[in-house]
Every structure is written in structure tokens, then in C-alpha cells.
Structure 1
């Protein structure tokens, strides 16, 4: 275990910033959003395992090679063999892990509470849309559509969207929002929000959160395009985006422009072997720190 913790530390630091920044700036994820999202999840999980594992393995190194040996040593009452600095490292690691889990719990609870209030408000203000079971119509003149995830999920479209969008464009909007709900994209983003709130000022973590948020939109766009085609999706994106622009008195966000350009000039999917390689790398990223820890 004496050599494992430096490797874990270097791996964790590399994944937290330079790797995350370069992956966020890469163009190939736009050609394979599903694979890129899987890789991002692996980066986040492997980075957490590596950084926290480095602290644990450094602290418990005198107790054996691997966490199994260390666990047996703890049960045998050998914690007294640890030096003072190792106790400090262990305490810091436990505090960081506790903060990360605490932030994750707080963010999750706040999100659930906000969604519950939002659902209650929609039940009062919105009306069911007969043409789309489970969808609600909000009496608002600007074209807007969004989903509210959870056990009692909602898809909401504004009255402005119904009067502005054609039937195929509305189908694109519904397919996009249902993809978010079905694939639980809200949970995909949550770990990166927790990491960003736990460790401040790391450019790689900020870039990761933005990149994942953009990729889930691209993934939902792909689902919608498969159902209604790129042209109808592009019209829907522009109509809903223009409505949001008028409402907020701001220009398109960079992410929306990027999505619209991608839909209009559809990039070639990654070759089959490249897609397989991305998924293998994701598995290896998780396997390496796990093996070093055990």
C-alpha cells in the first residue's frame, strides 16, 4: 500500500482538472453523447475513489497491503501502530468524504423540495393537455417547454408553444423532454454539482458540470431527431429559444447555439470501434482505482 497512494493521488488530481478540462473541450463527445456521458460518470467516480482512496491508503499503509489487510488489522486492534501524521491524513480524508456526501444529500433534498413545490404550483396553475397524456399546459404567451423529474414527473408546455409550434415541432419538444425523464438526466448531473460545491475553484470541475449539462441536451436532441427528423427539431429549438430570448431579453446561450448548429449540420457518429473504446476506457477508469484500493 506504500506505493498505491501516490498513484491514486496523481490519478485523482489528473482526473479532477487537466483530464476534465480537455474532455470538456473535445469535439468527439458531440458525435457520441451516450458514450461521453458514460465516460464522464466514470471520470467523476474514479476521481472520487482515487482522491479519497489516496488519503485512506496513505493513512493505513503500515497496516498491510490493501484495504482488506488494513480492515483485518483494525479488527485486530492495531490502530495504535499509526503515526500522528497518518491520523491527520485519515481525519482530513474522512472530513472531505463526509462533506461530499453531505453536500450531495443537501443538494438532493433541496432539489426534491423545490420540485415538490413546483409540482403543487403546476397542479393549481396548469391544465392537462388532452393531446398528450401526462403533459400540462401553462397559460403563458412565450413558447416554453420543460420537464420536472421525479416520481410524479411532469412535462410542461406553454400556451405560446401550442400556438407557435407545428405538430411535428411539438412532437420534437415532447420527445426531447420525455428523453430527459426516461433516462433520468437530472441524476447524471447531480454528482458533478456536488463535487463543484465541495471543492471550489477547480476549473476542471466547472468545465465538467457544463459539459455534462450540454451532453444531456444533445442526447435528448438525438432522441427527438430520431422521432421527427432534424429539420423539425431545429425549427422547434429556434422557436423555443427565440421565445426564451424575448422573455429574458438576452441572446441565445452558447449551449443552445451549439445544439442548433449540431442539429443542422449533423456530425458523423463515431466509428463502432471508437465507441467501444470509449466504453472500455470508462470501465478501466473505475477498475484501476478499485484494484489499487483492494
Structure 2
């Protein structure tokens, strides 16, 4: 069964990923697309961890049944157990390190910038003196929205409110936290080949989260204001932050200009990927459980 779970994880990485990128490319239902990407990531990780746990249990059974204990089985059991523990510890440490860095960044920006009162937002807004127009959010213990003085000068009041609404949508939706979880995987194991896939997931999730924030801002301030703010703030965003001018500016601008689209086929495809991602491991585990219970139920 461990081999089947490993095979399923590999199939999801090699086959489901290109399909999912193609389905979510246009940004239709970005919230659902984000959920599917995260579900596929969770499924792949769950399949790998479960397969490793089953392999450890099999090796422990071999050790208990064998006298004397085969050295190879003993070494393999210890190595697998250590790998699972080390992987979990490294991931948690990477998450804590990234979280601490975000807290320090947010605190530093509060000290360096000046507070900007915006009655329509519950989030703190800080104006930072800079020559380049930019706006982004930083998640910490108390997330903040940062807008540069150049952006304040370049944007009219309506467009500025749309940009701030975009950033507030990131914080309200816990978007930085979602990206931190995915990026933490790649940061914990930078040298492993499989971590390149985590970078792909993080990039696609970040792109869809930007589109979700665009939609939230459009619902409050209209397409024209959001599109104007996106094109005005087309500069770089600090590493690790989510900004109105973040990823795929041209694609996002074209999507906003084209207007909202609803495609039932895209939604069905996304739901089908979720069913396949979680359905296959469940079937594998149930088949194994029924096989083990078979002699007891049908003697």
C-alpha cells in the first residue's frame, strides 16, 4: 500500500500540476483555484507521510517477527523514523523563522513610517517615504498595509482606496499565512528536487491570491479604480510580501479589463481534481483495511 500511495503522490505532481495550471490560468474562480492547489499539496504530503509511516510499521513488524533482528531492517526503520521527525522539525522551524521575520518587518515599518487614517479599513495603514510608488501588506502579530509617499502622490483618492482595499483583502483572507505555509516547505528543504514543485505551488497560489484580492477590491470600488491602481503601481514588491502590483500584472490587468466570467467547466474540472486527489488515497486505505478485516468478517 505504501508503494501505491507514493505512486499517487508522484502522479499528482507530474500529471495533476500541469492540468491545474491550465485550468486556473485565466483566473476564473480564483478562490476555488487556490483551495484546489492547497488541497493537492496537502494530499501529496499526506500520501508521502502516510506511505513512510506504513513503511516504518512494516519494518517494525519485520523486526518483531525476526530473531535475530536483521541489521538492514533495523537500520532502515531508524533512518525512516529519523527522516520523518527531521522533516517535521525543519518545516516547523522554517515557519517560525518566517513568522518572526514578518513580525520584525511589521514592527520596523511602524517605527519608520507614519500612520495613515483610513476610516473604511480596520487594518493599520503606514506611509513610508520612498521615491518609488508601491503598496503591499505585511503579516505579523498585527498585519499592516504599507503605501509609499510616491504612491500617495501618484494615486487619486478613489484609486488609493481601491489599492488599500486590495491589500486589506490579503490580510482579511489570511493570504500571507497561506503563502508562508507553502514557502516554508521549500525553505526547509531547499536542496531536494521535489521542493521545486513547492515553489511552483507557491507561485500559482500567490498569483490566484492576487486575483482574489483584485475581485474583493472590485466589489467595493469598481473595476476602473482597481485597474488604474494596478497599472500605476507596476513596480516591484518586497520579497515575501503581497502587493497590488505583485505577480503577473499584465495577466491581471487583462483579466480585470475583460470583466468577470463564470465558467461551469472550470469549476467542474477543479472539483474533479479535488475528488481524484483525495479519493484515490481513501480508496487505497479502505481497500487495505477491508483486506485486513476480510478473514474476520468472512471466515
TM class, shorter-length: 0.7 to 0.9
Runs of 5+ consecutive residues of structure 2 not aligned to the other structure: 238-244, 290-299
- Alignment deviations for residues 2-44 of structure 1 (CA, whole Å, 9 cap, x no partner): xx22210101112234322442344456111111111111111
Residue of structure 1 equivalent to 2:278: 286
* Distance (whole Å) between structure 2 residues aligned to residue 114 and residue 146 of structure 1: 16
In the alignment, what sits opposite 2:127?
A: 137
**Structure-2 separation of matches of 1:94 and 1:128:** 50
2:17 to 13, 20, 27: 20
Of 86, 94, 97, 1:110 maps to 97
Q: Give secondary structure in 1 for the equivalent of 2:137.
A: strand
Tell me what 1:66 maps to. Answer: none
Cα deviation digits, residues 129-180 of structure 1 (max 9, x gap):
1234621111223211111113311111111111111222112211111111
Q: Report if aligned partners of 1:29, 1:35 keep a CA contact under 8 Å in 2.
A: no
Deviates more, 1:226-235 or 1:85-94: 85-94
Task: Answer whether contact 2:23 2:270 (CA < 8 A) is retained.
Answer: no
Secondary structure of 1:140's match? coil
Q: CA deviation at 1:195?
A: 3.2
What are the Cα deviations for residues 238-282 of structure 1, in whole angstroms up to 9, with x where unaligned?
1111x449xxxxxx98722222222222362232x7536634642
Pairing of 1:1-40 with structure 2 (within 5 A): 4-27=1-24, 30-40=27-37
Structure showing greater relative contact order (alpha-carbon pairs closer than 8 Å, 6 or more residues apart)? 1
Aligned to 2:199: 206
Alignment of 1:1-294 (within 5 A): 4-27=1-24, 30-61=27-58, 80-81=64-65, 85-132=72-119, 134-197=124-187, 198=189, 200-202=192-194, 203-241=196-234, 243-244=235-236, 255-266=248-259, 268-271=261-264, 275=267, 278-279=270-271, 281-282=273-274, 285-286=277-278, 288-289=280-281, 292-293=284-285
The alpha carbon displacement at 1:79 in A equals: 5.2
TM-score of the superposed pair, with normalisation by structure 2? 0.78
With normalisation by structure 1, the TM-score equals 0.79
Q: CA deviation at 1:183?
A: 1.1
- Aligned-residue CA RMSD in angstroms? 2.9
Question: Is residue 44–residue 191 contact of structure 1 (8 Å, CA) maintained in 2?
Answer: no
Stretches of structure 1 that go unaligned for 5 or more consecutive residues are 64-72, 246-251
What SS class does the counterpart of residue 27 from structure 2 fall into? helix
SS in 1 for 2:89: helix
Q: Are the structure 2 counterparts of residues 24 and 204 from structure 1 closer, same or farther at C-alpha, using a change threshold of 3 Å?
A: farther
CA–CA distance in 2 between the matches of 1:33 and 1:234? Answer: 17
Q: What SS class does the counterpart of residue 137 from structure 1 fall into?
A: strand
Count of paired positions = 270
Distance (whole Å) between structure 2 residues aligned to residue 270 and residue 34 of structure 1: 14
**Structure 1 contact 13–51 (Cα < 8 Å) conserved:** no
